[in-house]
Amino acid sequence: MTRLITALALALTLLPGLGRADEAPPAGDPAAARERWEKLSPEQREALRARWKAYQALPPEKQAETQARLERLRALPPEQRAELLKRYEAYRRLPEREQRELQERFNRFQEMSPERRTQLRKAMGEILRAPPRERERYMDNLRRWRGLSPEERSRARERWRAQHGQ
């Protein structure tokens, strides 16, 4: 029963358009979960049932990961949780193609070595803290880089290494 309530709470928390992040019922509160269920439209209930079936189909280790994520989400301060859920909602509103692209980029990031991920986080932090004009210059360079063929990128890397003694 506890797993059902946790899964229901997770699905209710992540179901688009349902309340604010700081209104999620406490874990293990069947009355609050039931109350929220009864407030759902038939479409929302059906979406929740589909999510529950998908959750049940997960292997036990994935279910445990999902529950751990829910617990981490609930442990966040309300304003931080609200910001995280706001970003999630923004992601969900993206076209499916853009969601796939972001997922692929995230997967590539996860495959990087810890050192490379640290370098990237540092570089992104510097870009985000940079003045607007410098940030725009970086974005222009990035657009030009993406327009290069693999061979052109390789030559550009070689020139950069020769100029910077690497």
d(Cα 80, Cα 152) in Å, to the nearest integer? 43
pLDDT digits (tens, 9 = 90+) for 149-163: 999 999 999 998 898
Tokens coding 142: 């990035």
CB count within 10 Å of CB 95 equals 8
Task: Indicate whether this model's pTM tops 0.75.
Answer: no
Q: What's the pLDDT at 10?
A: 54
Q: What's the pLDDT at 28?
A: 63
Domain ranges of the chain: 2-95, 119-163
Backbone angles phi, psi at 148, to 5 degrees: -80, 150
Q: Looking at residue 76, what DSSP letter applies?
A: S
d(Cα 49, Cα 134) in Å, to the nearest integer? 48
In this structure, are residues 10 and 66 in contact, taking their beta carbons and an 8 Å threshold? yes
Residues of the chain with pLDDT under 50: 1-8, 12, 15-23, 25
Backbone angles phi, psi at 95, to 5 degrees: -60, 150
